[in-house]
Structure 1
Amino acid sequence: MTLNTSPSRSPATGYDGTDATELLLRSQQLAEAFARDAARRDLERIPPRAEIRALADAGLLAARIPAAYGGPEVPVPEFARILINIARGDANIAQAASPVFANLEKIRIYGTEAQKRHYYGLVLDGALLTGNAAAEKGGKHLGDFSTVIRPDGDGFVLIGAKSYSTGTLYADYTLVTAITEQGGRAAAMVPTDRAGVTIIDDWDGMGQRATASGSAVFDGVRLVASEVIFIPDYGRRRTYEGGFAQLLHSAIDAGIAWAAIEEGMQQARTASRPLPEARVKRGTDDPYVLHTAGRIVIEARAAELLTLRGAEFLDLAIRAFYQGTPEANRLLAEASVAVAEAKYATSEASLHVAEMIYRLGGASATSRAVNLDRHWRNARTHTTHDPVDWKARVVGDYALNGTWPAINTKV
């Protein structure tokens, strides 16, 4: 079977050989640009196509590609800072683009050498592997999938439907999780313009409105063998896949908290009025406004530092994983716990901070024009991905009983 495996949308530019320091600077610059129109994009549900293209052109989507394959291999702590910056600019953009990072790590863990060279090369050249299609349409029970990959001549055929296919509407390729006819796990890197692929823009969440988290249908999509990644040891070998995915969510939530603080404080500086009882001339001198400002900064800072701490644990564990050192499993378990702590903290901080900013700006902060409520809506929507009570349970079981997290893709 011969199929066109290149995207029909020609990529522009990609990674240009810059290092982690330069990529971090670029993420800050782009975040500032993204923030300028973030409120309007949310209000009007404007797809951030140009912004995601800008991330690719700046080389940021290639941040974690290993040096052995021509990438910058940005260490996980610096990478977490990059993603926090992007989410600080616009959490929609960060979430819509973030599947590429999970996809590339999945390829690194499970892919063949040929698959690594091929897909890393595509991203380095600027292609968008930003699609993710993992959540089964109609739900998933105890790991059972309805999406299946079946042999078809010298290739395969993909059949199924997915919900919450984040980023797929903007992507050249989407990673689709499935089972084989024998019941094993697999993933397919599917060009989004392939016959049989239907991407439906039906995401109607109250927050993260422009993440393209709609449905996707795969109706007899033909695949060549190199597009299928088999995962024969799923659930039996401890990896960092789940911890890395949770770190992405933590970084996005941390970015939401900082975005809310920045805009809430700007609203306080420009529009708040002091109560007469405060006996001050400016709202920003009200002692209770100052108390609120300090409290939410401390919460956001603590959550961010826990995220960076989790990233440091994860970076150490990933190196041990690929070196095959004897302590790799222990380090992977410890990293999962550290990231679970970060996920709990960032979930709580993003929600609380996004609610508390109204104590800074007062009634003027509720104006539809400034759209400050998008921060709470983004946080509330994004933090429902994984119930944080399960994160606390994992942390508690490890602290009390020394129990390692289960081998799965969530912690």
Structure 2
Amino acid sequence: MTSPPSTVAAPAEGGLQLPKPQLDRLDEITEALAKTAAHYDRTGEFPHAAIQLLHDAGLLTATVGAEWGGPGVGFTDLARILLALGRGDTSVALIACMTLVPHALQGGRPWPEALYRRILAESTQGPTLLNHARAEPDTGRGGGTVARRTANGWAITGRKRFVTGAEGLSYFLLWATTDEAVPQTAIFVVPGGSPGIEILPTWRQLGMRSTVSHEVVFTDVEVGPEELIRFDGPLQSTGRPSGPEADPDHANSVLLISAGLYLGAARAAQDFVLHTGVTKVPTHLGRPIATGERFRHVLGEIEVLLSTAEQLVLGIAGRLDRGELVTANEALSAKVAVIRDLTRAVELAVRLLGSGALSQDNPLERIFRDVQAAGVHAPQEDSALLGIGTARLNDYLRQFE
């Protein structure tokens, strides 16, 4: 039974109170998500019941700052939440992550106050999911979606792909290019039920099936001026790549912490290997397979990979909580290492258990498919390595200036 969420001790200005996240229930929530993960993976349905569970536990608004009436959990607790959710159901964890991250970054680049308070008020009533809609079928990272000025605000037309949670989103954080003489990139908060929005059921991926990351078509979708949350400035080309340096808004560090949900999935794979090792007793062996030296050797390899990756995620999260600067180079380097390690750990788990691990009746098969998505989130490894290497080269060349 779901226990009622407690509230923060003191309301923010305006009296809004958001639920305090029940972090003491994370193990219970992991177990509950794991029980339905196979069903959602098989059907490809949006996981409404699972998302409701997270809302009831106060997790979807855990990162809302105290100044807005939220609990304002730190980056370490955010990492803990994503690890726990990923350990239960990777798809549900990703949907939740896409809402938790915009809330976490409000301190650096806040939205218009009235707009944000409206969204938070809705969040007290039920799951209010957010996600960026940026990637496009033809132009990659964006540019083909156009925001046209109208007498009442803007009308937006375009097509987006890979919109995680599309069917269940309360708001799209829609990237568009303005039709001004000097075009600008802008981000609009578009209610999910707005006229002119069509969700195309195009999500037919190897894994992460219940994220329902469909394509979404926007046709003259009208938004008011108050729904514009950010201009990113005129479109321009730098002419050459420049490596990342400081990360004052924590954006790259949050990408690393977000990868923790896949690390949680890898921990679930490890859990299954351990369970199998102590419960499977082949007739010819007469004892659990975990007693074998090879089995324990591979277990050691898996633990080294996962514990090292976890230390990277929690270590950088802790530095952010202490107010220390984490450079983009550090965060991106850690992200590359974490994804390599968790992916390798799951591969080792599959090889250790053999062909049975790839049966659709085996949770390891689903986890193996899901973690293949860890490396496709931007910036992908090749782009990250280019930026990291360029930055390191720039650092070296500065000593001769």
Question: Which TM-score bucket, shorter chain as reference?
Answer: 0.7 to 0.9
| Alignment match, 1:169 | 167
| Alignment match, 2:242 | none
Letter of the 2:277 counterpart: A
Letter of the 1:260 counterpart: A
Letter of the 1:370 counterpart: N
Gaps of 5+ in 2: 10-17, 237-245, 397-401
In the aligned structure 1, how far is the partner of 2:327 from the partner of 2:223?
A: 35
Question: Contact 1:272–1:283 (CA<8 Å) still a contact in 2?
Answer: yes
* Closer/same/farther in 2, CA of residues 211 and 269 from structure 1, 3 Å limit: same
| Alignment match, 2:374 | 382
* Closer/same/farther in 2, CA of residues 169 and 22 from structure 1, 3 Å limit: closer
State the SS of the aligned residue for 2:210.
Answer: coil
In the aligned structure 2, how far is the partner of 1:123 from the partner of 1:148?
A: 29
After superposition, give the CA deviation of every residue in 1:12-67 in whole Å (9 maximum; x if it has no partner).
x9873389995322333211110122233223324311101211221111111110
TM-score of the superposition, structure 2-length normalised? 0.83
| Alignment match, 2:255 | 246
After superposition, give the CA deviation of every residue in 1:220-265 in whole Å (9 maximum; x if it has no partner).
1111222121224589996426315413432122112111111222
| Alignment match, 2:384 | 391
| Alignment match, 1:290 | 296
Letter of the 1:223 counterpart: V
RMSD: 2.9
Q: CA deviation at 1:211?
A: 0.5
| Alignment match, 1:63 | 62
Q: CA deviation at 1:71?
A: 0.3
| Alignment match, 2:8 | 17
In the aligned structure 1, how far is the partner of 2:392 from the partner of 2:376?
A: 25
In the aligned structure 2, how far is the partner of 1:357 from the partner of 1:72?
A: 37
Instruction: Give the 5 Å matches for 1:6-405.
Output: 16-17=7-8, 23-105=22-104, 107-108=106-107, 109-140=109-140, 145-182=143-180, 183-233=183-233, 239-240=248-249, 242-271=251-280, 273=282, 281-316=287-322, 331=325, 334-386=326-378, 387-398=380-391, 401-402=394-395
Q: CA deviation at 1:90?
A: 0.6
Give the aligned length.
373
Gaps of 5+ in 1: 1-12, 321-330, 404-411
After superposition, give the CA deviation of every residue in 1:92-140 in whole Å (9 maximum; x if it has no partner).
1011222112333455514122233222333344341233311123233
Letter of the 1:240 counterpart: D
Farther-moved stretch of structure 1 (282-291 vs 256-265): 256-265
State the SS of the aligned residue for 1:206.
Answer: coil
TM-score of the superposition, structure 1-length normalised? 0.82
Question: Contact 2:7–2:19 (CA<8 Å) still a contact in 1?
Answer: no
Letter of the 2:295 counterpart: V
| Alignment match, 1:323 | none
In the aligned structure 2, how far is the partner of 1:356 from the partner of 1:238?
A: 34
Question: Contact 1:205–1:381 (CA<8 Å) still a contact in 2?
Answer: no
In the aligned structure 2, how far is the partner of 1:208 from the partner of 1:49?
A: 15
| Alignment match, 2:14 | none
Farther-moved stretch of structure 1 (242-251 vs 267-276): 267-276
After superposition, give the CA deviation of every residue in 1:168-192 in whole Å (9 maximum; x if it has no partner).
2112222111122232121111111
| Alignment match, 1:328 | none
After superposition, give the CA deviation of every residue in 1:350-390 in whole Å (9 maximum; x if it has no partner).
21111111344334333321142221211112321232233
Question: Contact 1:169–1:199 (CA<8 Å) still a contact in 2?
Answer: yes
In the aligned structure 1, how far is the partner of 2:320 from the partner of 2:134?
A: 23
After superposition, give the CA deviation of every residue in 1:320-359 in whole Å (9 maximum; x if it has no partner).
8xxxxxxxxxx2xx34233213311221122111111134
| Alignment match, 2:13 | none
After superposition, give the CA deviation of every residue in 1:291-338 in whole Å (9 maximum; x if it has no partner).
10111011111111101122223344xx58xxxxxxxxxx2xx34233
In the aligned structure 2, how far is the partner of 1:191 from the partner of 1:252?
A: 27
In the aligned structure 2, how far is the partner of 1:150 from the partner of 1:106?
A: 27
In the aligned structure 2, how far is the partner of 1:221 from the partner of 1:345?
A: 41
In the aligned structure 2, how far is the partner of 1:267 from the partner of 1:219?
A: 52
Q: CA deviation at 1:215?
A: 0.4
Letter of the 1:377 counterpart: R
Question: Contact 2:5–2:20 (CA<8 Å) still a contact in 1?
Answer: no
* Closer/same/farther in 2, CA of residues 335 and 253 from structure 1, 3 Å limit: farther
State the SS of the aligned residue for 1:199.
Answer: strand
In the aligned structure 2, how far is the partner of 1:305 from the partner of 1:235?
A: 38
Question: Contact 1:133–1:177 (CA<8 Å) still a contact in 2?
Answer: yes
In the aligned structure 2, how far is the partner of 1:97 from the partner of 1:37?
A: 16
* Closer/same/farther in 2, CA of residues 111 and 206 from structure 1, 3 Å limit: same
In the aligned structure 2, how far is the partner of 1:111 from the partner of 1:304?
A: 32
State the SS of the aligned residue for 2:22.
Answer: helix
Question: Contact 1:105–1:241 (CA<8 Å) still a contact in 2?
Answer: no
